[in-house]
A and B are shown apart, each in its own frame.
Chain A
Amino acid sequence: MLDRSLVGREGEAWTVEVERGMIRRFAEAVGDPNPLWNDEASARAAGHAGLVAPPTFAAALALDERFRQSLDLGTRLILHSEQQIEYGRPVVAGDRLTIRSKVADVQERAGASGPMDVLLIEDEARDPQGNVVFRSRSTLVLRRG
């Protein structure tokens, strides 16, 4: 199984600027026409500083490919089985967020095709003032490939 010593492993903090285009492309990919994420004037009229990101955007933003690669998952197949997000406030275009990811848990579970590893990754995004903008928890099931 995956090494339990991965638990607690943290990635390096990195900072991302949320651009309008990222939000629009994300909303288009989902096919979600809500004006809050497609039309800046509507977002501002609703009291936001800019285009708002759809709720699931946070999880996408936090996905740190480099961190995942650093975990050395080998040839395992990764299946995303659960996602939780808590929001301190909505993510809006123009945000500069500093994101840090860590492995919160590793477990082994019996699956139909043999034992699987279940990896829980937590990400936290803060704004430059240090406020938590969101926390995200992704449960990944790893099947040995």
Chain B
Amino acid sequence: MALLARQLYFEAVKVGDELPPLVKPPVDRVQIARYAGAAGDLNPLYVDEQFARNAGFPSALAPGMLAMGFLGELAADWLRGARVRRFGARFVKIVWPGDVLTARGRVTERRFEPSGAYTVDIELWAENQRGELVTRGLCTAQLYYSPEDEARQRAGQPPLLVTAAEEEARLAKLSRAQPARRPEPMPQRTGLPPPARPPFPPPLPPRPGTPPPPPRPGPAAAPARPAAEKPRAAKPAPRPAPKKVARKPAKRPAAKAPKKKPAARKPARKPAGKKKR
């Protein structure tokens, strides 16, 4: 319940921020049945053991959407009520009854949109108890820039407009005003650097022969050969986001100045809903 105690503001979010991992209880058959019922998705592969075996699977399987639900739980917790604008996931590996999934996430992008909308991209992924990547997702959410921005918008005023350059200048000034804590000259936004963490994506079996694989975005990685569980080409190259490859190598090191907004990354279509909250 403390979840909603305070907002998450854009000014406090850095690229590279990690979400605290969420370890879910084992996915059991009761949960699978319950989910299939609640979601209205009664695919027999989820609920009919015999059917699944006859189809060549070792057992019934869990809906991919259940694992996506875990990613959503993690993201929504962390976002504390901020508005989710887009959410997608690819079901990389089948989730089986008994699997224990851990959902993880990391901020990969923060954007200053011209209209005064501030959005962050969070890459999300779930691993099973064997450390295998089962689900990979991306969530885009819209935040208030700051308490001031929230107060204005709640009072029906236009959003606070801050540009990336202004923010950078303000932070630079701040860091000059305070004696540097550590030798490096980057304007660190908060005291602590992100803790060392397992790299994303989690280690994968070495890829046979293909050096720089232009990872194919398509779907359908998962479900090929259930019964025999061949190591079929390990799976397509890991890719933070299944989607548009327009993402820059937003990797870790400089979690500092937010980048200019990426012109390339418009969704093909936009929900017609209102922009502001």
Interface, chain A (partner B; CB < 8 A) = 22, 25-26, 28-32, 34-36, 39, 42, 45-47, 54-56, 59-60, 63, 65, 77-90, 109, 111-113, 116, 118, 131-135, 139, 141, 143, 145
Contact = CB atoms under 8 A, between A and B. Distances in A.
6 contacts: A60-B38, A81-B90, A82-B91, A87-B83, A87-B85, A111-B224
Interface string B21-64: 00011000001001101111111010000000001100000011
Contacts of A42: 1, 4
Contacts of A141: 219-220, 222-223
A102 to B, nearest CB: 13
Q: From DSSP, what is the main secondary structure of chain A's interface residues?
A: mixed
B68 A90 contact: no
Contact of B76 (A54, A88, A111, A143): A54
B230 to A, nearest CB: 7
A26 B224 contact: no
A87 B75 CA distance: 15
A139 B220 contact: yes
Given A32-B73, A81-B64, A141-B223, A65 B85 contact: no
Size bin of chain B's contact surface? 35 or more
B65 interface: yes
B4 A36 contact: yes
A67 to B, nearest CB: 12
A88 B274 contact: yes
A25 B38 contact: yes
B34 A28 contact: yes
A36 to B, nearest CB: 6
Interface string B147-166: 00000000000000000000
Given A31-B24, A78-B45, A82-B242, 20 more contacts: A29-B66, A30-B69, A34-B73, A36-B3, A47-B277, A56-B69, A56-B87, A65-B40, A79-B45, A84-B86, A84-B243, A86-B86, A87-B273, A88-B272, A90-B84, A111-B220, A112-B224, A131-B272, A139-B220, A143-B223
Contacts of A39: 1
A87 B224 CA distance: 31
B89 interface: yes
A50 B253 CA distance: 42
Interface string B212-240: 00000011111111000010100000000
